Amino acid sequence: MEKWICPECNESIEPQFDTCWNCSFNNRDKANKSKSVDENISMHANEGKIEDKKIGKLSIKYRSLRNFQSIMWFLYFLLCISMIWSFIYTLDKIPVLTISSFSVLLFSYLLTIFVVLYFVMTISKIINFLFDLDDKNNE
């Protein structure tokens, strides 16, 4: 059996479940349950339940990627704040700070921040590319 799409929240549900895990919609109607994912997506798009007219299948199935992207940027922001706080705290606790030790400490903190930034930006670019590619395929 194929997955079915919840008519309330457009979530893709495994065929062995009668209730949507996201909104608790109970799908007892066998006719609606037998529709494929593609039929339900086009049905909901025609009914206007999907706001964006050019929304693609990837956008519907993997909208949690956008949430992941936002959470990833938020965690990066928290990392930067904690790294700055840690750097300042470390400077206060070192009794004698030479130029070389300060340089090594600063370099290590900056390197960590920029390496994590690189990975966050790369993952974000991949996610954006996937959604852009899906939009181009739907045009």
Is residue 30 over pLDDT 50?
A: no
Are residues 93 and 121 located together in one domain of the fold?
A: yes
Residue-by-residue DSSP string for the chain: ---EE-TTT--EE-TT-SB-TTT--B---HHHHTS-HHHHHHHHHHHT-SS-TT--HHHHHTTHHHHHHHHHHHHHHHHHHHHHHHHHHHHHH-SS--HHHHHHHHHHHHHHHHHHHHHHHHHHHHHHHHHHHHHHHH-
Containing structural domain, residue 46: 4-51
Residues 133, 95 share a domain: yes
**114 vs 48: which has the higher pLDDT:** 114
Query: Residue 34 pLDDT > 60, yes or no?
Result: no
Is the model's pLDDT at 84 over the cut of 60? yes
Model pTM score: 0.53
Same domain, 133 and 65: yes
